Amino acid sequence: MEKVMLHCPSRPPEKVSALPASVSPRTVSGVVVLDKPEGPTSFSVVSEIKKLSNFWKIGHCGTLDPFATGVFLLCLNRATRIADQLLEQDKVYRCGIRFGFESDTLDRTGEIVRVYDGPAVSEGELQQSLDRFHGTYEQQVPRYAAVKVQGRRLYAWSRRGIEIELPRRNVSIYSIGLLSFNWPDAIIEVHCSKGTYIRQLAADIGRNLQCGAHVTELRRLASGPFSIDQAISLEEFRKALLTNRWQENLMGMNDALAHLPSVSIACRETMKRLQDGNLDPALEINLRERIPKQTTPVRLLAASNNELIALCWPHENGRKQRRLRVLGADITDNSLPL
């Protein structure tokens, strides 16, 4: 996005000095792209990183089931405040499906509850079924999901054997391709909207073919612009933490939100107001005029160093929450223009 440089008669901010090669994990914020291994839960991965490090806050964007692997975004320190913007992005998955067998969890970790004894499905029939799911459709949330219903996680209700009405929501399948097929196993690749349950998609395809299906493997290849090619393994990140080289794998918040429009601010008074939690009226008018009406926020950057200072929603768009989210500055950065 083209940046809008706002100027005022004030003296421009002084140049920011570079951070030292090694700093405390409590002083720097950003995003790490992990390649989650098979086995641990998303919560346990975050818990382990907390124990190994001195980060004062850690969050993640997009839960992966224990048997699933792939792109797993960690938000460190102040970057937890931008997690909602990263969660909004599309996902790409590679998924192994076994047809003819249905499990209670819709994946290979559950118990088989139904076995198909009819003729094998042909590749042509499978391709036709996949094509039917291209676009937007109403998807049922799986029984074993982390979504809260009536104050509890769905999987908690299911594990207690309590039947509860499962929510439904619209999801979008932007592309769905068949990579290989040898009955009863297939591998597909799916580009989908946030909130899409691949386990449920596989089960829906199986039901459409009247043979049932469950997921045998699941790997997240991308989350928004973050791809598996740039991910670091959990083992590698453990070593980086122990040798204090973790910063080599850290992406700054501004870079992590590069998909959002940005405005660079070179005015000291405007910067001071922003960091006090106030939006300069002249800046707000400027943003409304220059930024088209949209629901996504605008990055407000310090012109001196491209430091992400705040997110701003120039247009109300029915938002009930504050339209300015001040992100502050890292503890070690004492050179921001205040």
- CATH homologous superfamily of 30-89+224-251: Pseudouridine synthase (3.30.2350.10)
Q: Which helix (H) or strand (E) holds 220?
A: strand 213-223
Which CATH architecture describes the domain 91-219? 2-Layer Sandwich (3.30)
Per-residue pLDDT of 246-290, as tens digits, reads 888 899 999 999 989 888 888 788 888 887 778 777 777 777 777
The DSSP string of 30-87 is: EEEEEEEPSSS-HHHHHHHHHHHS--S-EEEES---TT-EEEEEEEEGGGGGGHHHHH
Q: Which of 65, 107, 204, 330 is catalytic?
A: 65
CA angle, 41 then 47 then 50, to 5°: 150
**Do 30-89+224-251 and 91-219 fold alike per CATH?**
yes
Active site residue 333: no
pLDDT at 320 over 60: no
Distances (CA, A) of 232 to 35, 46, 96, 218, 248: 6, 15, 23, 18, 11
Mode of pairing for the β-strands spanning 232-233 and 30-36: parallel
| More confident of the two residues 115 and 169 | 115
Contacts for 193 with CB less than 8 Å, ≥ 6 apart: 90, 91, 171, 172, 173, 174
Q: Give 24's pLDDT tier (boundaries 50, 70, 90).
A: low
pLDDT at 295 over 90: no
| More confident of the two residues 261 and 181 | 181
pLDDT at 184 over 90: yes
Residue whose entry in the numeric block shows the structure tokens 């707000």: 284
Domain positions in the chain: 1-15+253-338, 30-89+224-251, 91-219
Q: State the Cα–Cα distance between residues 277 and 289, nearest whole angstrom.
A: 22
pTM, two decimal places: 0.83
